[in-house]
Each structure stands twice: as C-alpha cells, then as structure tokens.
Chains A and B, each alone.
Chain A
C-alpha cells in the first residue's frame, strides 16, 4: 500500500503470560481514519497503546514483532520522542485539574520543558482549540480550570492538547463512550475534519460510529486481527465468519 504510515508485521503483545495481541499484520494509511473494533477484552486498547509505547508502562508488559512508523521501528525510537509524534486521547477525559484551559492546551510543551514565547503559545492555543472545535466556546474563559467544562468539552480539550504537539498520528481509545449523543456527534464531526491533517486511529465499541466516520475498519477477535478492510466493504460483505457474527449482533 502506498502512503503507509504505520506498518505492523507479526506484532504481538503480552501482559505477563497473557498473550493479548496475536500476530497482527496490517498497514495503516496516512491521513485516513482507521477504526479498531471488536468485543471487549479482545485487545483493542492494548494494540492501540503499543503504537505509542504506552503499553510498556504496565509491569511485565512485553511485545514482539515489527511495528513501524514510516521506515523506523517504533521500539527503536525513544518513547519520549515517539509519544510527541503520536498523540493519544483516552476513554475518560483527563484534563489536568491544576491547570487552566490555556495551560492544558500547551501542557505538552510545559511538561517537556520546551520554552515558548508568549506569542507562540497564544498561537498554538488558538490554533489547537480551533482545530478541536472548542475555540468559540472557551475563548473568553481560557484562564478557567479545564475541569469546569462539560464532559464533551473536556474531551475536545484533550484532543486540542494532543494536537498542540503537532503529532503525525492521533490515537483515540473509545473517546465518546463516556459522552452524551450530542457531544458524541460533535466529536465525530471533528474527527472527520481532522483526518485531513492527521492520521487517526480510533478504538470504538460502536459499529454505527465506525460506519459513519472511518475509512477502514480493523476487526479484532480474541487478540487476532480477524479482518481488515475498507469500512464500506466490511459492513456490506464481511469475509470472516467472526466479523459476520459480530456485525449481525450475535455477540457484543
């Protein structure tokens, strides 16, 4: 596939003896939105966390196989640098409670001790909040604590915080599962908009969501990549029996 940004080959991950991601091989194209689906406990989160090496924060976590960002093995890049290139948004919004909205957006720079001028910071904050479709709502309250925002706004703040670091890839782990339908659809619109500039990989439990927003869908089952195809293709005529069963609701 041309334009591949992430390339997995026989990639495996373990928690101790628990083999959670089993021999996954897939190419993820640049500036696309890829959905990762599957029943709970099938290793979606773990797979996602391997891409930015968050997996290794767990005690006795282990990986094997090849996972490349462009030409480089992810596991040869220093995790600190890698995580600045691959941003992450979590299931539950987690803005820093001791920081204002403004400081939350530039938190990545502050945490890494990168000095910016006031003008640069102002630019980054406005730009990131605009991209996260939050600017109009918070432009007058930038100095307020981020935790005063609604759940949906907090999640968009977390997206702004991630894209403020100008990452190549954005990983999202069920970013809307804790949100109401209105916030969910605003985040979905936002993601469709963002994929022009970023490669987005989103774990979702919600088939409609995957159908609405993703270009490609990867279906995981018990740690294996059961099927990976263009989303339309997969929903219309799934090739794998397990995918068929899942899509027709035989298990969830």
Chain B
C-alpha cells in the first residue's frame, strides 16, 4: 500500500528527467498551438457569419427603406402590383398567432414540466412522455402542415359553420393551434430541468409542516422555478415567431388585416416564403428582405431576453 503511493508521488519528477519525453515536447507544443488556433478560427468564423448575415439583411433592405421609410412598419396595405408595401398586417399576424399559440400551449407545457420535473420524474410512463415530447420537437414542420390541412382544417371549418362565420378552415386560429403543439417541447423541457433543480431541503421543509404534494408544488416548486418557466416560455415564443412552413400551409395567405381569429392572414415568415420566388421589382424584393430583418430582430430580442433570465437564474 505504502510503496505504491510513493511510486505515484515520484512519477511526475521522473517524467521531466527522462530523455525520450523531452524529445517529444516540441511536437506536443506545436500540436497544442495548432489545436488552439483552429478552435479560435472556428469561433471567429461563426461570429463573422452571424454578422455577415445581419449585414446582408441590412444592405438589401436599404432600397425598401429609402422608398418607404418608417411607414413600412405601420402601412396597412401590401400591394406589390402598385409598389405599396405596408408590413403591418404581417406584423399583426405574426404577433397574434404567436401569442395565441403561447396562451394555448402554456397550460400544457407547464403541466408537463411539473409532472416530469416534480410529480413523477421516473418510471416507464414519464420516459414515454419525455420521448414523446422530444419527438414533437423532431418532427419536420412540413408534416405539421399536412396534419393541419387534413385534420385541423376540417375541424376548424366545422367550428366556423357553427359560429356562423365564413368557413375557410384555414386562418389565424388554425395556424395558432398548430404552432401551440409545435412549441410545447421548448417550454416543457426547459421547465422540467429547472423544476427538477428545486432543492430537496426546501421541499422537505414544506412536507415536514404538513403540506400535500399540491401545496409543495404551489408554494415551493413554482416560486423557485418561476423564472425558469418564464424563460422556457420566452424560448418557445421565439420559436413560434419564426416558424414558417407549417404556418404558411394553414394560415390562408391573405394580405388583409385579419378581422377575427377565424380570418385568414399571413405572418412575416410565411409572406417571405410565399412571395420570395415571385418578387419582381427591386423594391418588392427589398421589402421582403426588410420583413426578414424585422423578424430577425424580434426573435433575437426574445431569445436574448430568455437567455438573460436563465443566466440570472443560474447564478442564484
């Protein structure tokens, strides 16, 4: 026992004395240098890429900005034939679908987060649920679009006939419903992680005072995890704002301001996807790119806000 510990202690000294080791040093140092350089290069490359991205959007937006100015943001008419480009209907469409989706999804994602994080963190059923949630995030959005067209649109149409509005089937509500399903995994898995982090000693304190599990969740877990749950919700909002394919397929692609949640509309992302290939005039093309720039900024802000909440949270 004693001999072997001595050996271990002696080894580092021995190393430096041995010749074959010192012969290898230049190579290892070189390798280290190249390794570090290539890492730095890759890191710089990504930063340049993101900046180039932003620059491209800004530069190509200039013609549109020169022609339309700030009016672009609140102009209510989008009429490419007459070169009138007001993004307001799409801004509105994006915000309404995203927030509606968020409101629909929050009860589900929070329940799932609490269920998996606190109530029932292990066992075959929670594993099944966990995998199902991950699968929801992995399904390509065009498949959601199909599902929306074949399943949701008929249901919504039926609903619309009952309410006595024009039975389009496609529209803001349909898009929001699809989105709400698509964004559940983001808030749910983020929330689950943070709910799980609730210190056992706080939960035990509550149990020892005679709390039920509901009371522990309500008064200990939720207060502890609330900023994490909020961050998860913000991340899923960011996802909803940018989602394109599925929304484009079921929103109805109308450039008019939607009169109610059953009406067809358009989001910024779906307009870009729909009209990019047919954009003839240079201002038209530039207006679409400016739309992209606005979307880019909005999602960036939402993401940064979400990340900073998480950061502040993890410091506690």
* Residues of A in contact with B (beta carbons under 8 Å apart): 52, 54, 57, 59, 80-84, 87-88, 90, 92, 94-98, 107-108, 110-113, 158, 161-162, 165
Distance from B121 Cβ to chain A, minimum over Cβ atoms (Å):
10
Distance from B313 Cβ to chain A, minimum over Cβ atoms (Å):
13
Q: Is the CB of A98 within 8 A of B224?
A: yes
Given A112-B215, A113-B215, check contact A94 B201 (CB 8 Å). yes
Q: Is B149 an interface residue (CB 8 A)?
A: no
Distance from A208 Cβ to chain B, minimum over Cβ atoms (Å):
26
Given A98-B223, A110-B219, A111-B215, check contact A83 B209 (CB 8 Å). yes
Query: Which residue of the partner chain, among B201, B204, B206, contacts A111 with CB atoms under 8 Å?
Result: B206
B contact residues around A59 at 8 Å (CB): 122
CB<8 Å pairs between A and B, sample of 27? A52-B208, A59-B122, A80-B210, A80-B212, A83-B209, A84-B209, A84-B210, A87-B208, A88-B208, A90-B201, A90-B204, A94-B201, A94-B202, A95-B205, A96-B205, A96-B206, A96-B220, A98-B223, A98-B224, A111-B206, A111-B211, A112-B209, A158-B205, A161-B205, A162-B208, A165-B209, A165-B210
Given A54-B204, A158-B205, check contact A108 B210 (CB 8 Å). yes
Distance from A170 Cβ to chain B, minimum over Cβ atoms (Å):
11
A107–B206 alpha-carbon span in the complex (Å): 8
A59–B122 alpha-carbon span in the complex (Å): 10
A82–B207 alpha-carbon span in the complex (Å): 11
* Residues of B in contact with A (beta carbons under 8 Å apart): 122, 199, 201-202, 204-212, 215-216, 219-220, 223-224
B contact residues around A161 at 8 Å (CB): 205, 209
Among all A-B residue pairs, the 10 with the closest Cβ atoms: A108-B209, A88-B208, A84-B210, A83-B210, A98-B223, A94-B201, A111-B211, A94-B205, A111-B215, A80-B210
Query: Which residue of the partner chain, among B204, B210, B215, contacts A94 with CB atoms under 8 Å?
Result: B204
A162–B205 alpha-carbon span in the complex (Å): 9
B contact residues around A57 at 8 Å (CB): 204, 207
B contact residues around A108 at 8 Å (CB): 209-210
B contact residues around A80 at 8 Å (CB): 210-212
A234–B223 alpha-carbon span in the complex (Å): 47
A58–B188 alpha-carbon span in the complex (Å): 25
In the complex, besides A57-B207, A111-B216, 8 extra interface pairs with C-beta distance below 8 angstroms are A54-B208, A82-B210, A83-B210, A90-B205, A94-B201, A94-B202, A161-B205, A162-B208
A contact residues around B202 at 8 Å (CB): 94, 96-97
A59–B202 alpha-carbon span in the complex (Å): 18
Q: Is the CB of A83 within 8 A of B204?
A: no
Distance from B179 Cβ to chain A, minimum over Cβ atoms (Å):
33
Q: Is the CB of B204 within 8 A of A112?
A: no
Distance from A231 Cβ to chain B, minimum over Cβ atoms (Å):
26
A165–B206 alpha-carbon span in the complex (Å): 12
A165–B220 alpha-carbon span in the complex (Å): 18
Q: Is the CB of A92 within 8 A of B223?
A: no
Task: Tell me the nearest residue of chain B to A114, going by C-beta.
Answer: B210
Task: Tell me the nearest residue of chain B to A171, going by C-beta.
Answer: B208
A contact residues around B224 at 8 Å (CB): 97-98
B contact residues around A110 at 8 Å (CB): 219
Task: Tell me the nearest residue of chain B to A164, going by C-beta.
Answer: B209
B contact residues around A158 at 8 Å (CB): 205
A84–B215 alpha-carbon span in the complex (Å): 14
A162–B207 alpha-carbon span in the complex (Å): 12
Distance from B59 Cβ to chain A, minimum over Cβ atoms (Å):
49
B contact residues around A94 at 8 Å (CB): 199, 201-202, 204-205
Q: Is the CB of A111 within 8 A of B208?
A: no
A contact residues around B207 at 8 Å (CB): 54, 57, 83
A165–B216 alpha-carbon span in the complex (Å): 17
